[in-house]
């Protein structure tokens, strides 16, 4: 998953996958480096010691990435392909190995960057691979042969990065479509109950951390069964879609509008009570202006509750908003009711109703 604090082009995607990729490389490369390094002809003691130390280091890194990836600093995952490129180049130079097999290790940083890093880091790591490979082949093979080898590697690595990046982008688009479908109500296109529950939990954490105000507006169509019975389910669906369009417009990009099921909708807003009531009345006015429904626009009963005024937790917020909706229903329908503030709860007599909005608001409704 993309980490949200990353800037576009510099993001780190899927830490679990990245840690596994590093573990696979280092755990496979450690014995390979040890064996091939020690078998190199005319190996000096210094190079042999370096090969042993590097092999042990790769083994320890691989085990850490596999068992405890969270123990490594975040910067490590961005630097991993650059470190791998430097290590491959140093080992190839140290062992005087410019064979095709040794050069194939450059594929790993290219594939890692193309899979887990943003486009800017992909470009940067390609440049590092080209530089490291050039240092190896020009030093060991000479300019003429080395340039030919380097140019072939440049084309191969570039095409590899392009293909893998393209496949990753396509997979991201498909994943986004599936995620949207999983979180959307099929009839109205609003968020579904599952997505609303997740959004409510996140919003509750935000409110607790920042002290911000959170409003929950619950909307219910009055006598929706009568609409279905009189005009048919097709017209009932159109009524639901009309209400959904009004909710979507009223919420905009500042909150979440969801259909919980049947004819019940909610709006989750990071705002205070007056603003939430204003949004509720905007929805009512937009729905009442609909002229394409055979039975006329549906009447709406709306309940408004806010956190922290009416509730201390998001669960209490849902209960308070449901109670306000119930009050709107039992007080004549077609109106907006608000939950009593928590600091007045002790002074509310048993059975005392939630507070109705001002008469002017109620008169604007069709109920």
What band does 259 get if pLDDT is binned at 50, 70 and 90?
very high
pLDDT confidence of residue 118: 87
* Cβ neighbours of residue 7 closer than 8 Å, sequence gap 6 or more: 118
pLDDT band at 247 (very low <50, low <70, confident <90, very high): very high
On the question of pLDDT at 360 being above 80, the answer is no
Residue 267 pLDDT level (bands cut at 50, 70, 90): very high
Q: Residue 290: pLDDT above 80?
A: yes
User: 193-364: what CATH class?
Assistant: alpha beta
Q: CA-to-CA distance for 38 and 53, rounded, in angstroms?
A: 12
The region of weakest confidence among 35-39, 134-138, 208-212, 274-278 is 35-39
The pLDDT of residue 6 is 47
Q: Given this model, what pLDDT does residue 97 score?
A: 83
* d(C-alpha 286, C-alpha 303), whole Å: 17
pLDDT of residue 82: 93
**What local confidence, expressed as pLDDT, does residue 40 receive?**
72
Domain with CATH 3.30.70.270 in the chain: 193-364
| Of residues 356 and 251, more confidently modeled | 251
Region of poorest pLDDT, from 22-26, 176-180, 209-213, 226-230: 176-180
Entry field: residues in the chain: 367
User: Residue 91 has what pLDDT?
Assistant: 80
- For range 361-365, the mean pLDDT: 34
User: Closest Cα to residue 244, out of 316, 186, 174?
Assistant: 186
Residue 298 pLDDT exceeds 60: yes
Please write the tens of the pLDDT for every residue from 311-336: 889 999 999 999 999 999 988 888 89
Mean pLDDT over each residue of the chain, to the nearest integer? 84
| Better pLDDT: 94 or 67 | 67
pLDDT confidence of residue 79: 92
Task: Please give the torsion angle defined by the CA atoms of residues 226, 227, 229 and 231, in that order, rounded to the nearest 10 degrees.
Answer: 150
């Amino acid at each position: 998953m993309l980490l949200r604090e990353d800037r576009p082009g510099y993001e780190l995607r899927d830490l679990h996958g990245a840690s596994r990729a590093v573990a696979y490389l280092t755990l496979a490369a450690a014995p390979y480096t040890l064996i091939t390094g020690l078998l190199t002809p005319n190996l000096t003691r210094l190079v042999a010691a370096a090969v042993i130390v590097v092999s042990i280091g790769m083994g320890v890194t691989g085990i850490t990435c596999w068992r405890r990836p969270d123990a490594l600093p975040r910067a490590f995952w961005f630097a991993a392909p650059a470190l791998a490129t430097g290590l491959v180049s140093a080992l190839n130079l140290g062992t005087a190995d410019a064979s095709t097999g040794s050069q194939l290790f450059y594929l790993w940083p290219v594939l890692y960057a193309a899979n887990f890093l943003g486009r800017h880091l992909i470009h940067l790591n390609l440049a590092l691979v080209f530089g490291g490979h050039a240092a190896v082949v020009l030093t060991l093979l000479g300019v003429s042969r080395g340039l030919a080898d380097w140019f072939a590697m440049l084309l191969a690595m570039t095409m590899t990065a392009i293909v893998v990046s393209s496949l990753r982008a396509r997979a991201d688009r498909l994943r986004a479509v599936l995620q949207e479908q999983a979180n959307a109500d099929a009839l109205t296109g609003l968020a579904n109950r599952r997505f609303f529950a997740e959004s409510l939990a996140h919003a509750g954490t935000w409110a607790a951390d920042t002290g911000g105000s959170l409003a929950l507006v619950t909307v219910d169509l009055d006598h929706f069964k009568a609409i279905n019975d009189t005009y048919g389910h097709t017209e009932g669906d159109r009524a639901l879609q009309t209400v959904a369009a009004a909710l979507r417009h009223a919420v905009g990009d500042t909150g979440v509008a969801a259909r919980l099921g049947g004819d019940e909708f909610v709006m989750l807003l990071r705002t205070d009570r007056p603003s939430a009531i204003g949004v509720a009345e905007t929805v009512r006015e937009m729905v009442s202006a609909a002229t394409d429904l055979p039975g006329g626009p549906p009447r709406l009963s709306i309940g408004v509750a806010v956190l922290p005024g009416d509730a201390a937790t998001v669960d209490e917020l849902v209960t308070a908003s449901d109670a306000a909706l119930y009050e709107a229903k039992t007080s004549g329908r077609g109106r907006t009711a608000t939950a009593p503030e928590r600091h007045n709860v002790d002074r509310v007599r048993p059975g005392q109703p939630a507070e109705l909005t001002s008469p002017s608001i109620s008169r604007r409704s069709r109920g």
